[in-house]
Amino acid sequence: MMKEKLIDLFEYTYHYNKEMIKLISGNISKVDEKIISLISHTLNAQQIWNSRILGEKNFEVWQINPFEDLNTINHQNFLKSIGIVKDSDLDQRIEYRNSRGTKFENSIFEMLFHAINHSTYHRGQINSLLKQNGIEPILTDYIFYKR
């Protein structure tokens, strides 16, 4: 049951990341560097958490990805996250180092839930910045996704 709920939340995350990329792309002349930085960071963070769980090489937290690569990165993140959910014991604890090199340990569930929550937080920030730039934000609340 928990795995099904996490998959649903990653589907939600994937969907609204995709919609956000589309909205930014359609208004690229009006967006500023902060918006571009935040959408890249949002995708980077999910990639980083997936990589920590899988023991793979990860992105830099604030690297700026080529805008034309964002949909591909979002899709790859989605597939990896879903694979982790399906193939892992969510209670398993993983030791990792943060971007400053400090060692931590969390369960796979905690790491995945953080990735989802982090994406939601930054999409809210992006929506606020879009509005400040005269771009109509999109409603990205989970409940709208489920309606």
Domain ranges of the chain: 2-146
Q: How much is the pTM?
A: 0.95
Identify the segments of the chain with pLDDT beneath 70: none
Predicted pLDDT at 23: 98
Predicted pLDDT at 53: 97
Give percent above pLDDT 70 in the chain. Answer: 100
The residue with tokens 């879009």 is 130
Q: Which residues are annotated as a binding site for a divalent metal cation?
A: 41, 118, 122
| Residue 101 tokens, joined | 């090199």
Predicted pLDDT at 33: 96
As assigned by CATH, the class of the 2-146 domain is mainly alpha
Q: Residues 13, 19, 20, 25: is their CA dihedral positive or negative?
A: positive
CA dihedral 116, 118, 121, 124 (to 10 degrees): -70
Q: For the chain, what is the mean pLDDT?
A: 97
Q: Which residues are annotated as a binding site?
A: 41, 118, 122
Please give the biggest Cα pair distance in the chain: 45
Closest Cα partner for 52 from 137, 136, 110, 139? Answer: 110
- The answer to whether 55 and 72 have CB atoms below 8 angstroms apart is no
Predicted pLDDT at 1: 86
